Amino acid sequence: MAKSFVQPGDVETYIAPTGGVVGGVGVMIGSKFVVALDTVAQTLPFRGMTSGTHSLAKVGSQAWTEGVAVYFDTTNKWMSSTATVGFFRVGTAVVATGAGAGETIGVVHLDNTATFAVSATYVQR
């Protein structure tokens, strides 16, 4: 084992941001998306999963196909297949999911990187 090794990267310990975290719900830690494994108040340590496949809250009105890019809405704490400015791309849908009031959970494989969604519009000068 390398002398620089600290811990495996699948589960890491972070400090809960303002508002705390809820187990099973995604949260951004800086530019890193993790799924909290613990429910704790802000400033307390919690374990966050950085990889794997998770069942997460999604926008009910969206139908997903397998492999569609999935974004995290930091305001509503749910997943979306719409690349809205300010959302973070965090993974891809593993299972096709329908749209409707009862279709509020999506299965998402985390990419282990979070990148900003960008606007498709721009101004040419």
- Least trusted range by pLDDT, from 7-11, 37-41, 61-65, 108-112: 7-11
- For residue 117, what pLDDT is reported? 65
Asked whether the predicted pLDDT for residue 40 surpasses 80, the reply is yes
- For residue 87, what pLDDT is reported? 85
For residues 33-46, average pLDDT = 97
User: What are the residues facing 72 on neighbouring strands?
Assistant: 79, 88
- For residue 13, what pLDDT is reported? 94
- Count how many residues are written for the chain: 125
Q: How far is CA 99 from CA 64, 66, 92, in A?
A: 8, 14, 17
- Structural element, H or E, at residue 55: strand 53-57
- For residue 110, what pLDDT is reported? 93
Q: pLDDT tens for residues 69-105?
A: 999 998 888 999 998 867 889 999 999 999 988 899 9
Q: Which two tokens mark 86?
A: 């300010």
Please report, as a single letter, which amino acid is at residue 125.
R
